[in-house]
A and B are shown apart, each in its own frame.
Chain A
Amino acid sequence: MKFKRKYLSIPYVLFMVLFVVVPILFIVYYAFTNKGGQFSFTNFVKFFSDSTNVNVLLISFVYAILNTIICLLIGYPIAMILANKKYNKSYVVVLLFIMPMWINFIIRTSATRDVLNWIGLSTGANSGITTMIGLVYNYLPFVILPLYSTMLKMDKSQIEASHDLGANSFQTFFKVIIPMTMPGIVSAATMVFMPTLSSYVISDILSEYNVVLFGSYIDLYFNQSDWNFGSFMALIMLMLIGISVFLTRKFSKDETGGRTSLW
């Protein structure tokens, strides 16, 4: 066989098909079969007939939405300050905001819990608040980075033009800056929303299992060896991800979601 450069991708393609695509097909297969391996809608019926399941999904949505909003509210002004040459000229400060991502996630999360408990905010009694704090604490860096990079790319003269045309700072912010940074907002939101929905370690540690997010719930069923039902819920998760990717694509064209621009 003559060497062609495209043959180089064969190992990669084989690996991806075998360990990314095929496992997803397995999930689909398990989701629509019962324990005996026959095709059935048992899992479908089971999921939607028990209100506990649907409630978990709804509560997860509430936490995910709240987390996204809080992270954006804190992260947006920070990113603005970081991207503004008047306030910050050094990339080191930006790195400082991202640095927590590089310290082990379990240590970070349990440290938050221990400190909260130490200062008297008991994770057992205030599970909702402590879980939120843990979520925000964990996802804030993921919001700051994409927002910061969109703001860096923003054309400053458009803001000047807005002022020149008679808009005050308030109007300029809502009518020019926010729309112009929309791709960054969308990508920041996706970096928080779906991962919150599927997270489970943070809520487990910070609520002493009082708050159960969808990720935890899937994990629970797998641990109880109900693979078919677990697979069905994983499939729901996959579909939600699919929808969010589709929506994100409509708003922004950054295919990596900013995650690779860490270095």
Chain B
Amino acid sequence: MVKNEKLKVVLARVVLFFVLFLMYLPILVLIVFSFTKSTELGTWTGFSLQLYKDLFENKSLMRAIGNTLLIALVSALVSTILGTLGAVGTFYTKKRAKKSIETMTQLPVVNAEIVMALSLAVLFKAVNASYTFLTLLVGHVVLTVAFVYLNVKPRLVKMDSSIYEAALDLGATPRVALFKIILPEILPGIFSGFLISITLSLDDFVITQYLKEPSFETISTYIQKIVVKHPIPAEVRALTTLLFLVVLGMVIAITIYNNKKANKQLSAMNAKMRGVIK
């Protein structure tokens, strides 16, 4: 019986790591072959960092990376402000208006990206707007703002509603109470909304493709244009390695943060216990 259990554990782990291996295989292949000079995937011509050098010398790709980061940061910032204001304001709105705002918030969440992109393109065409950074920004904010809203809202729901009143009672103006009391309470929600916005925007292709200025390229559009006819450019392998490292770093950071939080909760519990004993 015990042996059986052990076997089960081993088997389960084998399955997990086999699927993980398959999922990462394409990326791992790119990473491995980023350390050789050959431009053809699968041909190893000895260790070299040439592709990394190529990457940093590829001006248009570097510009695309810069553009991707720019639009991600700006749109995440705008979404975070808009979405947070929206969630806080709506939280204090009467039932019926609240319901319509919440329904509206669901639209971009459930909608297909291509429909969102097209509908915005149709709108911009109708008002004869030419595509600029601003239209792209609108597209990315549409894509992400609802997620900020949905991350902030549960924090507001969980919050003790009388702490705002307590702040007013202690002499704070509504604005001070909002900044000093409500904001710190919902900050974790705002933060995770911001991070989700960044990831969605970084990864986006469809909306960007439709709403960008023709000369403006992001990583997605730049690579897509090439890969429809050719294999992945060799220097993108190097980029993949770097991206992978960044993501891995994030995973490690999240793990450390979660452990810290768990530890903090643990020590808070210990303190409580001590209080009881005392």
A, B bound: yes
Please give, as numbers and ranges, the residues of chain A lying within 8 Å of B232 by CB-CB distance.
107, 110-111, 114
Please give, as numbers and ranges, the residues of chain A lying within 8 Å of B175 by CB-CB distance.
3
A107-B239, A215-B112 given; 16 more Cβ-contact pairs under 8 Å? A3-B174, A5-B91, A6-B94, A9-B87, A11-B82, A13-B89, A19-B141, A78-B16, A82-B16, A87-B12, A107-B27, A110-B232, A205-B227, A215-B114, A257-B109, A260-B151
A16 within 8 Å of B by Cβ?
yes
B224 CB contact (under 8 Å) in A87, A198, A201, A234: A201
Q: Is there an interface contact between B112 and A114, defined as CB atoms closer than 8 Å?
A: no
Q: Is there an interface contact between A241 and B111, defined as CB atoms closer than 8 Å?
A: yes
A218 within 8 Å of B by Cβ?
yes
Q: Is there an interface contact between B228 and A22, defined as CB atoms closer than 8 Å?
A: no
B15 CB contact (under 8 Å) in A11, A16, A78, A117: A78
Please give, as numbers and ranges, the residues of chain B lying within 8 Å of A215 by CB-CB distance.
112, 114
Closest to B91 in A: A5
Interfacial residues of chain A within 1-49, with CB under 8 A of chain B in the complex: 3-13, 15-17, 19-24, 26-27, 30
Please give, as numbers and ranges, the residues of chain B lying within 8 Å of A4 by CB-CB distance.
92
Chain B positions 146 through 163: 1 when the CB is less than 8 Å from some CB of chain A, otherwise 0: 010111000000000000
Interface size on A, residues (CB 8 A): 86
> A20-B104, A222-B121 are known contacts. Are A12 and B251 too (CB-CB below 8 A)?
no
Closest to B199 in A: A102
Most B CB within 10 A of own CB, among A27, A88, A204, A205: A27
Q: Is there an interface contact between A81 and B111, defined as CB atoms closer than 8 Å?
A: no
Q: Is there an interface contact between B86 and A201, defined as CB atoms closer than 8 Å?
A: no
Please give, as numbers and ranges, the residues of chain B lying within 8 Å of A12 by CB-CB distance.
82-83, 85-87, 89-90, 101, 145, 149
Q: Is there an interface contact between B104 and A96, defined as CB atoms closer than 8 Å?
A: no
Please give, as numbers and ranges, the residues of chain B lying within 8 Å of A96 by CB-CB distance.
20, 251
B186 within 8 Å of A by Cβ?
no
> A5-B89, A103-B27, A263-B195 are known contacts. Are A111 and B104 too (CB-CB below 8 A)?
no
B113 within 8 Å of A by Cβ?
yes
B133 within 8 Å of A by Cβ?
no
Please give, as numbers and ranges, the residues of chain B lying within 8 Å of A165 by CB-CB distance.
none
What is the CB-to-nearest-CB distance from B277 to chain A, in angstroms, rounded to a whole number?
30
Q: Is there an interface contact between A11 and B120, defined as CB atoms closer than 8 Å?
A: no
Please give, as numbers and ranges, the residues of chain A lying within 8 Å of B111 by CB-CB distance.
238, 241
Stretch in B47-55, B200-208, B263-271 with 4+ CB within 8 Å of A: B200-208
Q: Is there an interface contact between A106 and B227, defined as CB atoms closer than 8 Å?
A: yes
Q: Is there an interface contact between A260 and B88, defined as CB atoms closer than 8 Å?
A: no
A183 within 8 Å of B by Cβ?
no
Contact residue range for chain B?
35 or more
Chief secondary structure at chain B's binding surface: helix
What is the CB-to-nearest-CB distance from A157 to chain B, in angstroms, rounded to a whole number?
20
A129 within 8 Å of B by Cβ?
no
B73 within 8 Å of A by Cβ?
no
Please give, as numbers and ranges, the residues of chain B lying within 8 Å of A104 by CB-CB distance.
202-203, 219-220, 223, 243
B274 within 8 Å of A by Cβ?
no
B166 within 8 Å of A by Cβ?
no
Closest to A9 in B: B89
Most A CB within 10 A of own CB, among B125, B138, B202, B206: B206
Q: Is there an interface contact between B26 and A115, defined as CB atoms closer than 8 Å?
A: yes
Chain B positions 112 through 149: 1 when the CB is less than 8 Å from some CB of chain A, otherwise 0: 11111011111101100000000000100110010101
Please give, as numbers and ranges, the residues of chain B lying within 8 Å of A108 by CB-CB distance.
26-27
Chain B positions 29 through 47: 1 when the CB is less than 8 Å from some CB of chain A, otherwise 0: 1100000000001100000
B2 within 8 Å of A by Cβ?
no
Q: Is there an interface contact between A19 and B120, defined as CB atoms closer than 8 Å?
A: yes
> A9-B93, A227-B125 are known contacts. Are A103 and B240 too (CB-CB below 8 A)?
yes
> A6-B89, A23-B122 are known contacts. Are A87 and B115 too (CB-CB below 8 A)?
no
Most A CB within 10 A of own CB, among B23, B125, B142: B23
> A140-B23, A234-B115 are known contacts. Are A87 and B29 too (CB-CB below 8 A)?
no
